[in-house]
Amino acid sequence: EAQVTQNPRYLITVTGKKLTVTCSQNMNHEYMSWYRQDPGLGLRQIYYSMNVEVTDKGDVPEGYKVSRKEKRNFPLILESPSPNQTSLYFCASSLPGSSREQYFGPGTRLTVT
Amino acid sequence: KNQVEQSPQSLIILEGKNCTLQCNYTVSPFSNLRWYKQDTGRGPVSLTIMTFSENTKSNGRYTATLDADTKQSSLHITASQLSDSASYICEYDMRFGAGTRLTVKP
């Protein structure tokens, strides 16, 4: 089944404790992206990757890191999480092109206390 | 200010009724507009995509319209079902609206 998977689905952590949210897709998509979704604000792009070893900042990259060592994986790293990073996070993948349909993962709900 | 605005924020309708959701955008004029459905606890799923030259596109009971001159789009849901209860998100040029939360009651 074609899908984007994320782990963990739920995470409660404390300020400053490094964490990684994994994302994997099995559709051989070049483009992958991370978003955060907050009430009243919509999805906002954190980082994106056009292909392996190519990553770039989105609209809200502060406090986040990513890597793209393999085509299928695109982990999101929070080196020192803070409470304002409490949010719902989505990973997405797609083929390249302006009309590309993004396939979203199931989401990771992160709470930082 | 978000460059993609959706209205209403939330909507409650009775099963079987029709409804229309609105999306206004202020970003660059030549891009694609997509509507997503997001069920509670899940990621968004694409419903329709429209290029700037298209006026109407249907996907079953969902019909999207686009007016590139006024930069407005609408999503019309016909004969609503309980399973239509979800958030509906508009995306234009990689900018997402905050969504409309639709609740369909029996």
pLDDT digits (tens, 9 = 90+) for B19-69: 999 999 987 767 889 999 999 989 999 999 988 788 899 999 999 999 988
Confidence band for A1, pLDDT divided at 50, 70 and 90: confident
Half-sphere exposure of A51 (CA within 13 A, CB side): 2
Per-residue model confidence (pLDDT) at position A31: 94
Distance from the A45 Cα atom to the nearest Cα atom in chain B, whole angstroms: 9
Task: Write the CB contacts of B1 (distance below 8 Å, at least 6 apart in sequence).
Answer: none
> Which of the residue ranges A95-99, B5-9, B29-33, B40-44 would you say has the lowest mean pLDDT?
A95-99
What is the 8-class DSSP label of residue A61?
A: -
Q: Do A42 and B41 touch (CB under 8 A)?
A: no
Kindly tell me if the per-residue pLDDT of A17 is higher than 90.
yes
Q: Do A106 and B41 touch (CB under 8 A)?
A: yes
Amino acid at B78: T
B2 → closest Cβ in A42, A98, A101: A42
Per-residue model confidence (pLDDT) at position B2: 64
Is residue B49 within 8 angstroms of chain A, CB to CB?
yes
Is residue B28 within 8 angstroms of chain A, CB to CB?
no
B96 → closest Cβ in A42, A101, A107: A42
Phi first, then psi: give them for residue B27, nearest 5 degrees. -80, -175
pLDDT in tens, A50-84: 999 999 999 999 999 999 999 999 999 999 999 99
Report yes or no: A99 and A32 within 8 Å, Cβ to Cβ. no
CA closest to A58 among chain B residues? B94
User: How many other β-carbons are positioned within 10 Å of the β-carbon of residue A1?
Assistant: 3
